[in-house]
Amino acid sequence: MTSGVPAVFLDRDGVLIEDTGYPHLEAHLRLMPGAAEAVRRLNTLGFLCVIVTNQSGVARGLFSEEQMKAFNALIVRRLAAKGAVIGAVYACPFHTEARDERYRHPDHPDRKPNPGMILRAIADHHIDPARSFLIGDQATDLEAGRRAGIPGFLFEGGDLNDFVKDLLGH
């Protein structure tokens, strides 16, 4: 029995793309400096790159789940055009104060700091948690990683590729 693949779980807004406040339209899409290079570096080292993102904008009625999915697909395509492969995207549209009843939940297991998205990805993609980690820009991201049994690292802006290089020690 072989162990699973190593993965890096990446928050979306503030890590891969600039957090412009509920981004969901192509005009909002600005990759963080070094984002494509960082993902490409991780791909080269054998990591599966997985986006895990809270998207309360859906619950708040700011955009539809379809718009969220289309925007996530656009990010994946934009990165792929630069040779950076995202293996999977997990997004949580649920929130306690949802305007749309379908998305209201007091404490959804997928909403970070809960680890649901990470745990589902681990199961879906045969990921080895012992060789995986998370990069987020919020304490809730790191807490989700901790609850899923993987280390988390706080990205406070700047060049994501430099951050990943420093993290990996090369």
State the catalytic residue, choosing from 13, 124, 128, 159: 13
Structural domain includes residue 127: yes
Structural domain includes residue 2: no
Contact 89, 76 (CB under 8 A): yes
The kind and range of the H/E element at 54 are strand 48-54
Residue 110 a catalytic site member: no
How much of the chain exceeds pLDDT 90, in percent? 96
pLDDT digits (tens, 9 = 90+) for 102-134: 999 999 999 999 999 999 999 999 999 999 999
Q: What is the pLDDT of residue 130?
A: 97
pLDDT digits (tens, 9 = 90+) for 29-67: 999 999 999 999 999 999 999 999 999 999 999 999 999
Is 124 labeled as ligand-binding? no
Q: What single string gives the DSSP state of each residue in the chain? A: ----B-EEEE-TBTTTB---SS--SGGG--BPTTHHHHHHHHHHTTPEEEEEEE-HHHHTTSS-HHHHHHHHHHHHHHHHTTT----EEEEE--BTT-SSGGGB-SS-TTSTTS-HHHHHHHHHTTB-GGG-EEEESSHHHHHHHHHTT--EEE--SS-HHHHHHHHHT-
pTM over 0.75: yes
Is 137 labeled as ligand-binding? yes
Structural domain includes residue 20: yes
| Mean predicted confidence (pLDDT) in 141-146 | 98
Confidence of residue 170 (pLDDT cuts 50, 70, 90): low
pLDDT at 1 over 60: no
| Mean predicted confidence (pLDDT) in 23-32 | 96
Confidence of residue 3 (pLDDT cuts 50, 70, 90): confident
Q: What single-letter DSSP state applies at residue 101?
A: G
CATH number at residue 16: 3.40.50.1000
Q: How far is CA 159 from the centre of its chain?
A: 17
Give the tokens for residue 140: 């809730």
- Class of residue 29 by CB neighbours under 10 A (exposed 0-12, middle 13-18, buried 19+): middle
Which residue segment(s) compose the domain that 122 sits in? 7-168
Q: What is the pLDDT of residue 2?
A: 60
Rounded-to-integer distance, Cα 55 and Cα 46, Å: 28
Residue 128 a catalytic site member: no
pLDDT at 86 over 80: yes
State the catalytic residue, choosing from 11, 110, 124, 128: 11
Structural domain includes residue 86: yes
Structural domain includes residue 71: yes
Number of domains in the chain: 1
Confidence of residue 156 (pLDDT cuts 50, 70, 90): very high
How high is the mean pLDDT of the chain? 96
Structural domain includes residue 138: yes
Structural domain includes residue 93: yes
Is 92 labeled as ligand-binding? yes
Rounded-to-integer distance, Cα 38 and Cα 117, Å: 22
| Mean predicted confidence (pLDDT) in 82-90 | 98
Contact 55, 95 (CB under 8 A): no
| Mean predicted confidence (pLDDT) in 85-96 | 97
Structural domain includes residue 1: no
| Mean predicted confidence (pLDDT) in 19-37 | 96
